[in-house]
Amino acid sequence: MMPSMTRAAATSFDLSNGLRFVVAEDHAAPVATLGLWVRAGVCDEPDDCRGMAHFLEHLMFRGSENFAPKEHTKRISLKGGSCNAFTSFDMTVYHESFPSHALAEMFELESDRFMRLKLDPESIEIEKKVVLEEIRVYENQPMSRAFRRLLRALGGEHPYALDPLGHFDNVESCRFDDLATFYRQLYRPGNTFVVVCGDVDIDEVKKLAEQYFGEWSDPEGLSVPRAVAPFRLPTGDQIERVSIEVPVLARAHTLPSSDKVDHTALNLLCALLADGEASPIRETLVKKKRLCVEAGGMNYNLLHGGALVFFGAFLPPGKFEPRHAVIRDICSQLAEEGPDEALFEEKLRRFKKRFAFESYSSNFQMLQFGEAELHEGDYRKYETRMVDLAEVTPARVQNLARELFVTENTLELSVIPENQKWYMPLVGLAMKAVQK
C-alpha cells in the first residue's frame, strides 16, 4: 500500500563497484533528498580512537579535491537547499534536501568528497577544537550527561554503550594518519549505499550514478571488518544515580540483532503496551494510579542487538517498587494472555496515519528507506510495513512477548537523581544524630 498517490514503488540498482542506489520517486513537490549511508559508526572505531567516525563526519565538510572548504554547504545553500550529517553506532549518514533540478550538482559534490576527500593537518586541528566543544556542550547539560552515564553503566565497553561523539582524550589525540586510514578503509562503494527520494527520475539517477560514482573502487588490502559482540543488558535489579532531577524507572529487555527480530511484531508489541495516552502502561501509571507523571516505551533495534524499554518518571517522594510492579504486571499479562484483539485495529490505524504523514517529507522517507536497508537488510521493508502489520496476528505478538519478557532477559532499573536527598531520610536522621 502506498501512503501517497504520487509516489511510485521504490526501486534499486547496483553499480558494478557494488554501490547500491535506492530510488523512490514522488513528484508531488519539486523537492528531492539525497542520503549517503556509510557503514562506519562507533562499532567500526578502534578502541583507542572513540569518536573517529564522528570526527571524520565533520572533516567531510572541510573540502575535497575539486571543492574548497565551505563550498559544499555554500553551493547547496545557494540553491535554497540544506545539508547535514549524523553519526551513530552502525553508520554515518550524509544528506541534503534541494530543489530537484539541482540533482546533478548534488551528485557531483557528494562523489568528490566520498572519492577525493582532502584531509589537511591544519583543518584537522581547527575541527578538533569544534568537536571538543560539541562534546563539552552535551557533557555540560545534566540531562544528556545522565543519559551517557546510564548507557555506560548498563552496556560497559560495548560500542552501543558509548557516545558517538567520542571520548574527549581520544579525539584530542586523534592523528591525521588515523583519520586517513579510517576514511580509506570504510568510505568505499562496497560499504556504502545511496537513497534518493522525491521529484527525481530513475533513468536520470542511473545516468548520474554511473557518471559520478562509476569509477569509485574499493581499495586494495582492506582490513577485516571489526567483530562486534552482541549487545546485552544486565539482568535483575539495578540502581543508578545520575544527574537528573526526577526519578525514573525502566524495564528493559535485550533484543537480538536486527536481522533476527520480527520487526513488525516488535513494533506492534511496543505500540500495544506503551504507544499513546491510552496505552496500558501510561494509562495505569499516569492516569489510573497516579504513580508517575510521564510513562512510555521505545525500542532500539540495531545491527548487533538492542533493547525494548518501558519507563516512567515520578515526582518524589515515592518508592520504585510499586511502579516497577505495574509495568511488570502489564508485560506479564500480555505474555500470558495475549494482546487485546480490539486494540489491534486501533494501533493499525495509528500506524497507517503516521505512514501517510511521512510521505509529505522526502527527507523523512530517505531516512526510513535507509534504516530499512541498513537494519533489516531490505529497503522494501519500509514500503511493505503496513501490509506486514495487517498480517501480524495476536499470537505472533504474544510469542514475541513470551520470548522477550523472561526473567533472564529483563532488567529493572531505578534511576535516582544524584543530588536528591529525599530517598535517604533515615540516613539523614542518623547523620544529624551523630552530629549532635
Partner 1 sequence: MSNSLPKAEYLRKDDGTVLLCHERRDVPVVSVLLRIPGGNLYNPLDRPGLAALATDLVGEGPVGTTPMEWRRITEKLAAEIEFDSGPDYSTIRFSCLSENLGELCNLTRRAIEEPGLPRSEWKQIVKTMRASLREHWAQPSSVSNHLSAVQSLGYSHPLAHAPFEKALAKATLEQGVAVAGQVLQKQNGTCGMIGGDIDSEDGFKYLSELVGALREITIPVDDAPEPKPSAARIWIADNRKVDQVFFTLSRRGICAGDPDRIALRLANYMTGGGAFESRLMDKVREEAGGTYGIHSRLQEQRLETPFKISSFTKVERLGEMLGIVDQTLKEIVEQGFTEDELKTARGNLYGALPLRLTSPSAILDWVAAGIRAGLDQDALEQDWHAYETMPLEKVNAAARRVIGDGEFRKTFVGPAQEIQRQVSAAGGVEIFPFKTMPDKWPHAMISER
Q: Which residues bind partner 1 (CB under 8 A)?
A: 3-6, 28-31, 61, 69-70, 73-74, 77-82, 97-99, 101, 125-134, 136-137, 140-143, 243-246, 276-278, 283, 286-288, 290, 293-294, 313-315, 346, 349-350, 352-353, 356-357, 359-362
Q: Is 343 exposed, middle or buried, given 0-12, 13-18 or 19+ CB atoms closer than 10 A? A: middle
Q: Which residues contact 362 (CB under 8 A, 6 or more apart)?
A: 26, 29, 31, 32, 33, 97, 197, 198, 199
DSSP E strand stretches across 199-244: 236-242
Tell me whether residue 244 or residue 309 sits nearer to partner 1 (CB atom): 244
Alpha-carbon dihedral 419, 423, 426, 431, rounded to 10 degrees: 0
Closest separation in Å from C-beta 147 to partner 1: 12
Q: Are strands 11-14 and 236-242 parallel, antiparallel or unpaired?
A: unpaired
Closest separation in Å from C-beta 360 to partner 1: 4
Q: Are strands 11-14 and 20-25 parallel, antiparallel or unpaired?
A: antiparallel
Closest separation in Å from C-beta 110 to partner 1: 17
Closest separation in Å from C-beta 251 to partner 1: 20
Q: What would the grid cell of residue 289 be?
A: 494510579
| Angle value at C-alpha 289, between 286 and 292, nearest 5 degrees | 40
Q: Coil, strand, or helix at residue 23?
A: strand
Determine the residue type at 287.
K
Tell me whether residue 175 or residue 350 sits nearer to partner 1 (CB atom): 350
Do 199 and 32 contact (CB within 8 A), yes or no?
yes
Closest separation in Å from C-beta 269 to partner 1: 17
Which of these, 282, 258, 259, lies nearest to 270 by C-alpha position?
A: 282
Which of these, 144, 146, 149, lies nearest to 161 by C-alpha position?
A: 149
Which of these, 343, 354, 352, 349, lies nearest to 278 by C-alpha position?
A: 343
Tell me whether residue 160 or residue 311 sits nearer to partner 1 (CB atom): 311
Do 95 and 35 contact (CB within 8 A), yes or no?
yes
Closest separation in Å from C-beta 103 to partner 1: 13
Tell me whether residue 101 or residue 116 sits nearer to partner 1 (CB atom): 101
Tell me whether residue 366 or residue 404 sits nearer to partner 1 (CB atom): 366
Closest separation in Å from C-beta 301 to partner 1: 23
Tell me whether residue 116 or residue 288 sits nearer to partner 1 (CB atom): 288
Tell me whether residue 376 or residue 418 sits nearer to partner 1 (CB atom): 418
Tell me whether residue 264 or residue 359 sits nearer to partner 1 (CB atom): 359
Tell me whether residue 73 or residue 88 sits nearer to partner 1 (CB atom): 73
HSE-CB for 283 with a 13 A CA cutoff: 10
How many other C-beta atoms lie within 10 A of the C-beta of residue 63?
A: 20
Tell me whether residue 83 or residue 186 sits nearer to partner 1 (CB atom): 83
Q: Coil, strand, or helix at residue 320?
A: coil
Closest separation in Å from C-beta 287 to partner 1: 6
Closest separation in Å from C-beta 235 to partner 1: 29
Closest separation in Å from C-beta 217 to partner 1: 31
Contacts 24+ apart (CB under 8 A), 140-149: 142/243, 142/244, 142/245, 143/243, 143/244, 145/242, 145/243, 146/242, 146/243, 146/244, 146/415, 149/240, 149/242, 149/243
Closest separation in Å from C-beta 348 to partner 1: 9
Tell me whether residue 277 or residue 408 sits nearer to partner 1 (CB atom): 277
Residue 247 forms beta bridges with which residues? none
